Amino acid sequence: MKLLFRWLAVVAFSASLAVCAKPLLGLGPIRYTISQAQLQQAVAKRFPYSQSLGDLLELQLQTPRLSLLPKRNRIATVLDLTLSGQLLGDAYSGTIAMDYGLRFEPRDNSIRMTDVQVTRLDLANVPPAYQDAVQRYAPRLAEQLLDGFPLHRISAADMARANGLGYGLGGFKVVPDGLQVTLDPKPADSVQ
């Protein structure tokens, strides 16, 4: 994202738009693609992640592996998972696979997971007595815990730069080679 803002700054400077209130000569929306490798790096910084329900159950997630689902405008992620706590009596490890959409939260400039759907849960050595409960409840618990999970925060400085150039974050679209970010021009009276 920083490269995009640098590019915008160069265009703005070279066109002497620093004092112009209109977004970059009316260029309209600007699209920038964050590669899958860059996405992988950004998401990896948010893990390992742990969440507990008191002493009853603890969920630990680590080592995210991303893939893109452009036809569904979603991102798929496989994570290593460990479930432990008094409810289970032991720790069980495996993997969890999910896919999700993305949304922007302007309150803290974060990009968050939304509509999380667990597609597979594999845990080794779970006793037969717990197997049904784990398969039934663990995916729902993971979906609830991860829905709204912040994957990345855009710095206040980058947001201010975009705003100063007359742009705001418009949306996200998963494309075959990454995540396309759209910056939309703001109305002239809202540019600060």
Q: Has residue 154 been placed in a domain? A: no
Q: Residue 19 phi/psi, 5° resolution?
A: -105, 0
**pLDDT tens digits along 82-119:** 988 776 678 889 999 999 999 999 999 999 999 999 99
Domain encompassing residue 90: 47-104+114-148
Q: Has residue 153 been placed in a domain? A: no
Q: Has residue 156 been placed in a domain? A: no
Is residue 118 within 8 Å of 142, Cβ to Cβ? yes
At 89 the three-state DSSP class reads coil
Q: Has residue 173 been placed in a domain? A: no
Q: Has residue 100 been placed in a domain? A: yes
Is residue 64 within 8 Å of 78, Cβ to Cβ? yes
For 51, other C-beta atoms within 10 Å of its C-beta total: 15
Q: Has residue 138 been placed in a domain? A: yes
Q: Has residue 118 been placed in a domain? A: yes
At 149 the three-state DSSP class reads coil
At 16 the three-state DSSP class reads coil
**pLDDT tens digits along 9-20:** 433 333 333 333
> What is the predicted pLDDT for the residue at 68?
97
